Amino acid sequence: MGLFVSCSDDDNASGVDAGQIHISAILPESITDGQAEIAGHKLRCILELWTKGEGAKLAYRNEVAVDPAAETNKLPMDLTVDAGTYDCLMWMDYVDAGSAATSRAEDGTSHYEDKYYDTSDLRNITVKDMNSLINNNACDAFFYSGEVQKKAGEAFIMEPELVRPFTKVSVLEKNLREFNLLKGLSVSYNAVAKFDVSTGKTVGETVTVAHSVAVFNPEVTPDGTLFSTYIFVDETSENMDEIHLSFTTKQGIQDVTIPSGLVPLLRNQHVKVSGNMMRESPIEDTEFDIIFDIDVAEWESDNVAITSRPIKAKVGDFFYADGTYSSSFTKSDANPCIGIVFAVAHDDGKASADKPENYIANNGTQKLQEVHGWVVAAQEVNQLLAPGETETWDVSQLPASELGTGKTDIKGFKNTEAFKKERLDLNNYPIAKAMIDYEQTNPAPAGTSGWYWGAAGQYITLAEAYAKVKAENKVVISWEYLAVGKSLKILVDNGVGVLFGGLNQAFYWSNSIEDSTGKIFRVAISTAAYNHGQSAGWNLNDKRHYRPILTF
């Protein structure tokens, strides 16, 4: 956008000679309002005119520079070219304040030494060092692309408005207490390194940008800013890939990922991403899902609020009453740990085959929109129960007719719903009743499936994540806790957890049926069991362990 005027000799009152072109690049308000006063730099503007059509040639090129402290909102250029239609390309950026104009070897035009961008070809502007775009307002830049129609014997006046070719992205830590304890920071993300002024579009694939601060000084950015960067973007909006951060504190190194698709990349706008990402001090209620606030501001835009999905859970994470999870345990009466994550759905985890449609209640309510993983309850009732009063169930009748079959069944929630059918008397199904009662007296966090009786495939997965047991001749000769076992042991040591395999009994009942026999599968989960992790159909009137699980 901008002003375009063509004047003949008869009506020319502009002061521009007939046959000349006068171009005044209109500077963005952020420049004229003082941002331009960047120490050690001055603004440089490049103008190129190209002939039209195939085999386009450079008809004119020039560079001018101005003291950034000068009080002006326009950068003027006067030139003479033959009559015709040209593509007009303009690029404005910062160069060293002491830089002097020299002549380009290829065409003899004036040139100031590039600092942050290689501007030898405005159709292929290239970032010289991607790290120079981090925490550096001097890498700000602007462009214009349009058409000039120069008529013979007429002056042509143009005042194009330049815009930024990128988004500025700032990432902030909201918890300033923890931010002020930050000692080191590493960041990596993907960004495009090239931009074509003629099309106004990015060029080529993204590259990985890695940035590290060995000694982080929070006093430099007291608002909690971890880093800011400039990223080339097209005019159409898009979303940024993952941003990986690594915090170094006195507790060690903590890795955090801002999910892909969360951060909008909007040209000529400043996007601020803020969240409680740091986890350092072992204080109650400092464990959380990371909720990111997205604020699009400063560069002529409205504010936008977006809530992210939480950072990916890991097997062995502690799961809390408010639905958050963490690799660190915090003992809290206000927000107690209620379970351990034993499978995840992301990155082809053991719960990756699970789907939201497996969590539709009898009333038609779909409990989940996305499956992140499975959690086993931290504790269990100190008693043994049987699934039923007979040795087998008729697989053609409820509840057996609606139960999943086989050792690979993972539809524990759906199976549990089968026992809630109106025509069933729960008193005839002791474990199902105990599980359903548990959900009533121990409400699960909002946004989860609620507690339910697990399927055979889920308990087998649990056993595999709980411990590794080595046995010979049906005798355990060694064992070790794995991720779930290690975390559960921490809960036991803090008086808020129960290990598997108590009461000298290793087996836990699932709700998956063996359709050939009408028996239910049980799974051994115990470091004292030589058959740990094994499963088989068994008589239903045999009392064994049971423990609830949930899906989040």
How far, in Å, are 110, 200, 287, 478, 487 from residue 490 at the CA level? Answer: 70, 56, 16, 21, 5
Whether 429 and 402 share a structural domain? yes
d(CA 447, CA 509): 26
End-of-domain residue from the set 160, 179, 205: 160
d(CA 370, CA 22): 59
Specify whether the CB–CB gap between 308 and 287 falls below 8 A: no
pLDDT of 29: 67
Average pLDDT of the chain is: 87
pLDDT of 36: 46
pLDDT of 455: 98
Which stretch of 225-229, 281-285, 313-317, 338-342 has the lowest confidence by average pLDDT? Answer: 281-285
d(CA 62, CA 70): 21
Whether 393 and 244 share a structural domain? no
Between residues 37 and 95, the one the model is more confident about? 95
d(CA 416, CA 360): 11
pLDDT band of residue 197 (cuts 50, 70, 90) is: very high
Whether 305 and 247 share a structural domain? yes
End-of-domain residue from the set 250, 281, 311: 311
Interacting residues of 26 by C-beta distance below 8 A, sequence separation 6+: 2, 73, 74, 159, 160, 161, 162
Whether 306 and 318 share a structural domain? no
pLDDT of 7: 40
Above 50 in pLDDT, residue 99? yes
Above 90 in pLDDT, residue 76? no
Which stretch of 90-104, 172-186, 292-306, 392-406 has the lowest confidence by average pLDDT? Answer: 292-306
pLDDT digits (tens, 9 = 90+) for 462-510: 999 999 999 999 999 999 999 999 999 999 999 999 999 999 999 999 9
pLDDT digits (tens, 9 = 90+) for 288-297: 456 666 676 6
Above 90 in pLDDT, residue 186? yes
Mean pLDDT of 122-133: 97
Whether 388 and 503 share a structural domain? yes
Residue type, 397: Q
pLDDT of 329: 86
Mean pLDDT of 139-150: 91
Q: What is the CATH number of the domain that holds 120?
A: 2.60.40
Mean pLDDT of 518-531: 96
Above 60 in pLDDT, residue 535? yes
Whether 25 and 72 share a structural domain? yes
Domain that holds residue 53: 2-160
Percent of the chain residues past pLDDT 90, beyond the cut:
61
Specify whether the CB–CB gap between 290 and 265 falls below 8 A: no
Whether 300 and 353 share a structural domain? no
pLDDT of 129: 97
Whether 149 and 172 share a structural domain? no
pLDDT of 149: 85
Whether 72 and 210 share a structural domain? no
Structure tokens at 33: 């309002």
pLDDT of 431: 95
End-of-domain residue from the set 272, 295, 311: 311
d(CA 87, CA 96): 29
Which stretch of 145-149, 278-282, 485-489 has the lowest confidence by average pLDDT? Answer: 278-282
**Nearest Cα residue to 292 out of 273, 278, 279, 311:** 273
Whether 272 and 395 share a structural domain? no
Mean pLDDT of 110-125: 95
How far, in Å, are 24, 197, 261, 310 from residue 307 at the CA level? Answer: 43, 34, 11, 9
- Cβ burial, residue 253 (10 Å; 0-12/13-18/19+): exposed
Mean pLDDT of 68-81: 72
pLDDT band of residue 69 (cuts 50, 70, 90) is: low
Residue whose structure tokens are 């609830």: 548
d(CA 304, CA 271): 9
pLDDT digits (tens, 9 = 90+) for 356-395: 999 999 999 999 999 999 999 999 988 899 999 999 999 9
Whether 103 and 225 share a structural domain? no
Domains held by the chain: number: 3
pLDDT digits (tens, 9 = 90+) for 298-341: 554 333 333 334 468 899 999 999 888 888 788 888 889 999 99
Above 70 in pLDDT, residue 120? yes
Q: What is the pTM of this model?
A: 0.53
pLDDT of 353: 97
Whether 356 and 256 share a structural domain? no
d(CA 151, CA 154): 6
